[in-house]
Amino acid sequence: MQPSVAEVALPSAGTSADRRAARRRTGSSRRGEGLAGYVFLSPWLLGFLGITALPMLASLVLSFTDYELLDSWSGVKWVGWANYRRMFTDDPHYLHSVAVTLRYALVAVPLKLAAALGVALLLRRDRRGNGVFRGLFYLPSLLGGSVALALVWLAMFSRDGAFNAALSLVGIQGKPWVNDPDWALSTLIVLAIWQFGAPMVIFLAGLKQIPPELYEAAAVDGAGRTRQFWHITLPMLSPVIFFNLVLETIHGFQGFTGAYVISGGEGGPVDSTLMYTLYLYVAGFTDFRMAYASAMAWVFLAVIALLTAVIFSTGRFWVHYADGDTQ
């Protein structure tokens, strides 16, 4: 790196005692810095208040009313917990969308992480060509969330798609996977697993941090590859597994684009791809039931917060920090 302006233009910084003395001399600088802090932070503060905090409060209030998009505000009534009660007692679509989302996340997240870890283990040693593999495998993570890829999936797993063409080569009669209520969600899970590259890159970085001496010592003690994996790699990698688990779970619960495109925006066939966020969109922006959708959003937030809390609190039992600090 070339020397910066400051390094060239400014004389040496002196000792920290000098610096403290200097700061005392410029007595007003502290206050100036405090003011500057708020000046630099003001866009963020404004955004946090105006676009995050207040709208969140507004949606909480809204969730206890019967507001619909085209209503005039004067006719809006307070309905108490009615929206929330309806979700769990009087709306089969809602409960179904919860089940779909859980099934999606519970299958897609572990498989995606397993694929990511498996491939990362294959690439951990420094070999020629690893950089190319790493880049190639990361590519789906950049492209996979797009509408274009969802369209490709739709075409690939349709009745006349490439997948059935491949099956027919080995004599298996395929089916229209994306139109089959039993299989449509599975095509979305495959699309999620296909994007294993991002957690893989994070696993690779984590693997590089494990001191090689551990393996050398274990090998001297006669531990084979399998034992080394269970007793060194997995425990040493557990903070990274933990990080990926939190990230991918939150990510998994929010899947929208694939489900929207494959089902034409309706969550079909027979609600089988009605992911939670897709139903929220349908309720709010197709049916204009904004109050109900707000209630759904708050339940969603509560569940994600709870889930994150559960992962964090169980982390104590299985996440191993090398410096012995378990907090």
Residues 192-231 that bind another protein (CB under 8 A): 194, 197-198, 201-202, 205-206, 225
Which residue, 108, 99, 134, 106, is CA-closest to 120? 134
Quick one: the chain helix, strand, coil %, rounded to 5? 70, 0, 30
Interface pick for another protein out of 86, 93, 134, 175 (rule CB under 8 A): 134
142 binds another protein (CB under 8 A): yes
Nearest distance, CB of residue 152 and another protein, angstroms: 5
- Tokens describing residue 114: 């397993």
Nearest distance, CB of residue 112 and another protein, angstroms: 13
Nearest distance, CB of residue 217 and another protein, angstroms: 20
Interface pick for another protein out of 156, 207, 237, 274 (rule CB under 8 A): 156
Whole-number Å distance between alpha carbons of 257 and 230: 37
CA angle 257, 203, 121 (to 5 degrees): 115
Q: Is residue 314 within 8 Å of residue 294, measured between CB atoms?
A: no
Whole-number Å distance between alpha carbons of 9 and 15: 18
Cα 188 to Cα 6, 66, 182, 245, 258, distances in angstroms? 53, 34, 12, 19, 7
Interface pick for another protein out of 99, 106, 151, 306 (rule CB under 8 A): 151
30 binds another protein (CB under 8 A): yes
108 binds another protein (CB under 8 A): no
Size, binding site for another protein by CB under 8 A: 107
Maximum separation of any 2 CA atoms in the chain, in Å: 86
181 binds another protein (CB under 8 A): no
Interface pick for another protein out of 95, 147, 172, 217 (rule CB under 8 A): 147
Nearest distance, CB of residue 136 and another protein, angstroms: 6
DSSP single-letter state for residue 326:
-
267 binds another protein (CB under 8 A): no
290 binds another protein (CB under 8 A): yes
Site stretch for another protein (CB under 8 A), options 82-90, 99-107, 160-168, 212-220:
160-168
Provide the 3-class DSSP secondary structure of residue 107: helix
Interface pick for another protein out of 45, 95, 219, 322 (rule CB under 8 A): 45
Whole-number Å distance between alpha carbons of 257 and 144: 10
If the CB atoms of residues 94 and 253 are measured against another protein, the closer one turns out to be 253
Site stretch for another protein (CB under 8 A), options 41-49, 81-89, 100-108, 318-326:
41-49
Nearest distance, CB of residue 3 and another protein, angstroms: 10
DSSP 268-325: -STTTT--HHHHHHIIIIIS--HHHHHHHHHHHHHHHHHHHHHHHHHHHHH---TTS-
